Amino acid sequence: MTTATQTCPECDGPVNVGDTVRASEVIECPECRSELEVVATAPLLLALAPEVEEDWGE
């Protein structure tokens, strides 16, 4: 698996993202622990993930 390095939109730290990642997947910034959503994969784009809503769950 190859990885691409992106910049965390919250702390500017480096975030390694594997090539198996899918759009709408949430990953964690290793530096600031922010939850980041993969908004797009080609090209790779990260954004702060939405906050958990009251009716979220299983």
Collect all residues with Cβ–Cβ distance below 8 Å to 39 and sequence separation of at least 6: 23, 45, 46, 47
Give me the least distance between CB of 58 and another protein, in Å please.
5
Which positions touch another protein (CB under 8 A)?
22-26, 37-38, 53-58
Q: 12 or 23: whose CB is closer to another protein?
A: 23
Which of 44, 43, 34 lies closest to 8 in space, CA to CA? 34
Q: 12 or 20: whose CB is closer to another protein?
A: 20
Q: 3 or 12: whose CB is closer to another protein?
A: 3
